[in-house]
Amino acid sequence: MAVNDGAVMEAWAKDQNIPEEGLISFMGDATGKLTTALDMVLPAARLGDPEQFGRPVCKRFALYMEDGIIKLHLVAENANGEDDPAGDNFPEEVMPTNVMAKIKALSVKDEV
């Protein structure tokens, strides 16, 4: 999900060779309403000139949901105590390997 319209997201998926029917869906939040509701808007002060985008910019994050309930919410920001609100320097928090490990840990906890 990104703060972009559907056409941009479709083009991005095509550029990345993501099949239309598969495990990955590229979804657009054209107005930024979902990004705002999730409190995942990157503060404009961190962007330099906030007018350059004309819409909110989304933090780097991962959500895992089951039956519409958020079970895991990870954000890549300020990792290792550094001022990194966009998560660019330390994206590991939301990388697939870490996300999958945390999902598996949730499943184990549910079984106990």
> 52 and 65: one domain?
no
> 68 and 53: one domain?
no
Q: pLDDT tens-digit profile of 76-103?
A: 877 666 676 666 777 888 888 999 999 9
What does pTM read for this prediction? Answer: 0.72
Q: Residue 32 is encoded by which pair of tokens?
A: 């930024």
Q: Residue 58 is encoded by which pair of tokens?
A: 């989304």
> 111 and 83: one domain?
yes
For residue 13, give its domain range.
1-58
Do 75 and 61 touch, CB atoms closer than 8 A?
Answer: yes
> 5 and 52: one domain?
yes
Please, what's the b/e burial string for 66-77 (b: 16 or more CB within 10 A of its CB; e: otherwise)?
Answer: eeeeeeeebbbb
Is residue 14's pLDDT more than 60? Answer: yes
Name the domain count of the chain. 2
At residue 111 the predicted structure's pLDDT band, cuts being 50, 70 and 90, is: low
Question: H/E/C letters for each residue in 47-78?
Answer: HCCHHHCCCCCECCEEEEEECCEEEEEEECCC
Q: pLDDT tens-digit profile of 28-76?
A: 998 889 989 998 888 765 555 555 566 778 888 888 988 989 999 998 8
